[in-house]
Chains A and B, each alone.
Chain A
Amino acid sequence: KAGVTQTPRYLIKTRGQQVTLSCSPISGHRSVSWYQQTPGQGLQFLFEYFSETQRNKGNFPGRFSGRQFSNSRSEMNVSTLELGDSALYLCASRLSGRSYEQYFGPGTRLTVT
């Protein structure tokens, strides 16, 4: 079974631009969570989607948003990029919102200049 895939793997953007990252969960998994990983803050939860609905949300500004499609694929968007948004963005999937085992993708490395 294929794992979680994320595209693109690397991205360089300029301050003020916006970016969209994509995640395809493991086949059959309906819950997708997004995390931001930085050296200073570690792994921080952004949001979780299940059946196209945002189920949980972390403590991030409204510039960070996401959505999930009917095939469980998910996208996250960051608008008006700031230098501090440079990070590894990780997507993780699990079978359902109540299923505990969570598997990560390789991440998208975003650099904001």
Chain B
Amino acid sequence: IAGITQAPTSQILAAGRRMTLRCTQDMRHNAMYWYRQDLGLGLRLIHYSNTAGTTGKGEVPDGYSVSRANTDDFPLTLASAVPSQTSVYFCASSEGPSNEQFFGPGTRLTVL
């Protein structure tokens, strides 16, 4: 693989269910990010990780959790999904604060 992969591509989920979105990068980037994209709002940062073993909250962290056990993987978990979490989720990575972020293809999540 090259770049960032996300899984699943899309998912329909019942409200109240737990869901983990997967993100893997093979560029050995230190920093990784999760965004959600909603019409007219652009991308909003959910959580980020500057390096393996550390995470931080972004603009819209409520209802989401992340972990960063190693450099390559950065899963995003919805503990109990709600309809307002229906969105397209993008994972990204970068080498550092002044470098461009590389984006994965996205996961389209629908919560009913």
Q: Do A and B come from one complex?
A: no
